[in-house]
Amino acid sequence: TELDDTMTKYTNITPEGMEDILFSDCEARRAIESSVIGLFKSRGFSEVITPTLEFYDVFSNRFNAIPQEMMYKLFDGKGRILALRSDNTMPIARLAATRLKAFAPPLRLYYNQRVFRISPSMTGRSDEFTQCGIELIGSNGLKADLEVIDTAITALLGTVGENFRIELGHVGFYKAIVDNLPLGPEKTEQLQSFIEAKNYAALHDLLAPSAQGSACCRALMVLPRLFGGGEVFEQALAVAPNEASSRAICYLSGLYDELCAMGLRDHILIDFGLVSQIDYYSGVVFRGFVQGSGETILSGGRYDSLLSAFGADLPATGFAVNVDAVAKAVEYTGLKRETVLLHYEKGYEKAAFERREQLIASGTVCEMSVFETEEEAESYARLRGMSRLDSIGAQHRIREL
């Protein structure tokens, strides 16, 4: 019937923004997670897991981390609004301010969790992806920022090799300028978007009416061009309109010098146009990119005021690796191991299963045959590209394929 057709219309497809992940793609993601988690553990970070569902209020405080139109929302049994986890830092800030408030800082936490965000149509982006990241809570200053950025670079070296860059900025420079301008929320949002996209024409049209005689407007108009190596700091100081913006430049310059002294210069670019749309960032911010891919594979920064929204006055910094984006950007070859199909005749079940355990213990991937005849088993093994067929019966036969 027509009703039945309507009810089964979506039986065989996934919702927009969602996807099935198969075989080697799963293996690639697990390998990336294993590498990054191993790094976090080796540096003293402990795992936490937050609920997939949180109260909507966790994400809708004054920092407005994720626009509400990007959240998947639903109601619980009492009519309260819930949201699927759209960000990992906000729930961990809640956790640190409540369950972990008795722990002496700094807190070193890591997570490996799925995130759900509604992406604009036709962008090709997934609405569900895995973030693997750290939060260093209760410590401010250069040492904490240096450790977190070094950990981010090491995480990418272990997953994508040398073929990446980290873009490093400081939102304090931008905020010190824009806080002195009479811009409403709508224009401020447009301003951030134009700067991030390096849309010079639109930025000029937005600021031109106010630019005459305004050092702040002139600084914002050149902000997207403050991009490159260490020479950018001198250019930024030349247009800095106030003491607060100059302090942000000097702090980032000192951090950059330390990272270069550690031998990391080749992986770092400075970008003062990095004015993240996530409003809880307060200081140093950074993003990672793989050459040939425009998608952000890593993002992070300092957020010293966020925990105050949950009742704790603690500085913090951290980052997250987008595991799915890394897996798509880098060709994964995997660890090639010999794969054996183990076939057995009736009455030799015990011997066959014992042989399977021996093969697995030696590092061989072993699949048990479900076929009645050896010929069927061999045909299947060849179809699957297996390296060997072992047959257990009156005789033990090994056949290389």
Q: What is the pLDDT of residues 337-371, one digit of tens each?
A: 789 999 999 999 999 999 999 999 999 999 999 99
> Which of 110, 111, 115 lies closest to 130 in space, CA to CA?
115
> Which of 279, 270, 273, 272 lies closest to 304 in space, CA to CA?
279
Q: With H, G, I as helix, E, B as strand and everything else as coil, classify residue 268.
A: strand
Residue 162 to residues 264, 268, 271, 326, 381, Cα–Cα distance (Å): 11, 12, 20, 13, 38
| pLDDT, tens digit (0-9, with 9 covering 90-100), for 74-88 | 999 999 999 999 999
Mean pLDDT in residue range 291-318: 93
State how far the Cα of 316 lies from the Cα of 76, in Å rounded to an integer: 31
Give buried/exposed letters for 149-187 (b at 16+ CB in 10 A, else e): bebbbebbeebbeeebbbbbbbbbbbbbbbebeebeeee
> Which of 338, 345, 339, 340 lies closest to 374 in space, CA to CA?
345
pLDDT of residue 70: 92
- Whether the pLDDT of residue 64 is over 90: the answer is no
Average pLDDT, the chain: 92
332 with 27: CB under 8 angstroms? yes
Question: When comparing pLDDT for 337 and 393, which is higher?
Answer: 393
> Which of 197, 251, 206 lies closest to 224 in space, CA to CA?
197
Cα 359 vs. chain centroid, distance in angstroms?
37
State how far the Cα of 263 lies from the Cα of 260, in Å rounded to an integer: 5
| pLDDT, tens digit (0-9, with 9 covering 90-100), for 189-234 | 888 888 988 888 888 888 877 665 588 888 998 999 999 999 999 9
State how far the Cα of 123 lies from the Cα of 393, in Å rounded to an integer: 57
List CB contacts of 230: < 8 A, sequence separation 6 or more: 253, 256, 257, 260, 270
Q: For residue 295, which phi and psi values (nearest 5 degrees)?
A: -85, 140
The model carries a pTM of 0.92
| pLDDT, tens digit (0-9, with 9 covering 90-100), for 113-139 | 999 999 877 566 789 999 999 999 999
State the pairing for strand pair 164-170/284-290. antiparallel
State how far the Cα of 217 lies from the Cα of 224, in Å rounded to an integer: 13
State how far the Cα of 360 lies from the Cα of 355, in Å rounded to an integer: 9
State the pairing for strand pair 128-137/316-322. antiparallel
Both tokens assigned to 254: 């000192």
- Whether the pLDDT of residue 2 is over 60: the answer is no
